[in-house]
Homo-oligomer: A and B are copies of this chain.
């Protein structure tokens, strides 16, 4: 929790009251590999901040294939924003890939923080803006890069993640099959 508070304080001033409130609506949790934090089809009211560890969110298509939307690593937020914002049931699943520590927030209360403590708005806004920017970049990369190029970029962005993830987690993030990723790796190792 301190990690999060410090992160907030590094960009805005946070009153002791707001800090106390954030504490009051959050729970620090240890989760273990394989745990499902959000399950497709169920109602969603939780948002997780990752203190340490690795999680991912993915959807499952009609054929049962999984598609990774996001990896949640240190200092990232993860949830099903589609469901929360539209007040729908989850289309995503959030699973824990290695033993992790997260802070669990009730989504509505976290939003309420912004009403109670407007000073917190700029932090949230900056977070959302950065999120939009990273999604824009991801879409552009997906449109213009080949699979090996996307994999290289992925390794730059998540240098240590391969220790925590299965091959098909990464493949389904890049939009390819695990077999293809395996071959891309083979090619790279030749150089």
Write the A167-191 contact mask toward B (1 if CB under 8 angstroms, else 0): 0000010010000000000000000
Contacts of A81 in B (CB 8 A): 129, 132-133, 136
Contacts of A138 in B (CB 8 A): 139
Contacts of A128 in B (CB 8 A): 125, 128-129, 131-132
Contacts of A131 in B (CB 8 A): 128, 132
Asked if A140 meets B69 with Cβ closer than 8 Å, knowing A121-B125, A128-B132, the reply is yes
Nearest CB of chain B from residue A137's CB, rounded to whole Å: 6
Nearest CB of chain B from residue A6's CB, rounded to whole Å: 22
Nearest CB of chain B from residue A70's CB, rounded to whole Å: 8
In Å, the complex CA distance between A140 and B121 comes to 28
Secondary structure class of chain A's binding surface, majority of residues = helix
Does A41 sit within 8 A of B, measured CB to CB?
Answer: no
Which of A15-23, A47-55, A59-67, A156-164 is near enough to bind chain B? A59-67
Q: Give chain A's interface residues, CB within 8 Å of chain B.
A: 59, 61, 65, 67-69, 81-82, 85-86, 91, 114-115, 118, 121-122, 124-125, 128-133, 135-140, 142-144, 172, 175
Asked if A144 meets B114 with Cβ closer than 8 Å, knowing A86-B133, A121-B125, A135-B139, the reply is no
Contacts of A86 in B (CB 8 A): 133
| 24 A-B pairs with C-beta separation under 8 A | A59-B140, A65-B144, A68-B143, A69-B136, A81-B136, A85-B129, A85-B130, A85-B133, A91-B140, A114-B122, A115-B122, A118-B118, A118-B121, A121-B121, A121-B125, A125-B125, A125-B128, A128-B129, A128-B131, A128-B132, A132-B132, A139-B142, A143-B172, A143-B175
